[in-house]
Amino acid sequence: MTGGVAAYKACEVARELMRADVRVKVVMTAAAQRFVTPLTFRTLTGEPVAVSLWDDPSQRVHHISLAEEADVVVIVPCTANVIAKMAHGRADDILMTTLLATEAPVIIAPAMNTHMWRKGITQANVTTLRERGVLFVEPGTGELACGDTGEGRLATVSEIVDATLAALRRVRSLEGVRLLVTAGPTREPIDPVRFVGNRSSGRQGYAVAEEATRRGADVTLVSGPVSLSAPFGVRCVRVETAAEMRDAVMAAYPAADAVVMTAAVADLRPAAPAADKLKKDAAPDLLSLERTDDILAGLGADKGDRVLVGFAAETGDVVGYARGKLTAKNLDLVVANDVSEPGVGFDSTVNRVVFVNANGEEHMPVMDKRVVASAVLDRLAILLKER
């Protein structure tokens, strides 16, 4: 809770969440305590209220324990100041340090004067946080406490509660699901030094694996050669070539409930890699290539009741190729993107994807790959429920 005239509505939000059988813990900024006392929330929730970095609670490091035990963090009301501090990574009080340490989804319910809300810098900060996956309960329009009329009024209690409960359901949407994820490129050797590969960074697959673990899934990640560290809590199998990836995937597949195949697996490899490094004057003018095994098609042929999600990196007719892949490989969903678009896709932190399934397609805006991962898993959870 941050400091604003709408702070009293946070009491109602806490009470309604508790009526929905949610355990509520409150963190208050110094400004928030000028509007509502910690005693109010301690009485409402039956929990200690965090008000300072210098509290002396029973927990080890208070902001870390708060950050780790939270399933969802909702900031209500959220001032322009706190939005700005979040966008720039400030950690100067109990709330900001908790936010910086948490891996839980964060929901913001802004409340401020309409001119402050519309200001370019505020909207830029909001855009930054949206791109990082922060969820917003949009402010309403109406009469404000200062007498102005316009945007900036805190959303209704029911809107905030509904958004929080939806996030809580999403947090455990993959509880008990055994998920197999592939990520990164493969490298097909020409000789012991050189290889045929692609520009996949693995970021999208690693984001899927990390978010799935956060949602309660038991995740096995089969990764090609990337510079990323394995996500916490994920079983990671590192491979180099398409053949090694096939073997690792097939070993994990029997136990899997679902597969998300984000890896950019080589379709072709050198037919006869040299045993020793090829010298410049002895290098062949032509490189003979042969096809690799189609891992995803092999999974689709032995699908059973599993859910299969494929990725399609294309440079033209993105939806057409994705729809062909959906049918040919017996998939439930294809996540397609145009890797020729500057600044998105391969070796980038953002992506623009199209979800293609038997019912149609859904075009998404440019999003951080962590947000794309969340969107993929939202759809995977629905597919699993339909089985």
Q: Could you give the residue numbers annotated as active site? A: 146
Q: Is the peptide bond before 77 cis (omega within 30 degrees of 0)?
A: yes
What pairs with residue 311 in β-bridges? 335
| Distance from C-alpha of 239 to C-alpha of 227, rounded to nearest angstrom | 13
Report how far apart, in Å, the C-alpha atoms of 30 and of each of 1, 170, 341, 353 are.
10, 31, 46, 42
* 3-state secondary structure at position 364: coil
Q: At what angle do helices 8-19 and 38-45 cross, to 10 degrees?
A: 10
CA neighbor of 78 nearest in space, from 144, 132, 10: 10
Do 13 and 76 form a contact (C-beta atoms < 8 A)? yes
- Going by the DSSP 8-state scheme, the letter that residue 145 receives in this structure is T
What pairs with residue 182 in β-bridges? 222, 261
Give me the sign of the Cα torsion angle 200, 179, 69, 154. Answer: positive
Token pair recorded at residue 236: 């990671």
> For residue 385, which amino acid is it?
K
Q: Where are the alpha helices (DSSP H) in the chain?
A: 8-19, 38-45, 62-69, 80-87, 94-101, 114-118, 120-131, 157-171, 203-214, 242-252, 295-301, 318-328, 369-386
- CB atoms under 10 Å from CB of 343, counted, come to 9
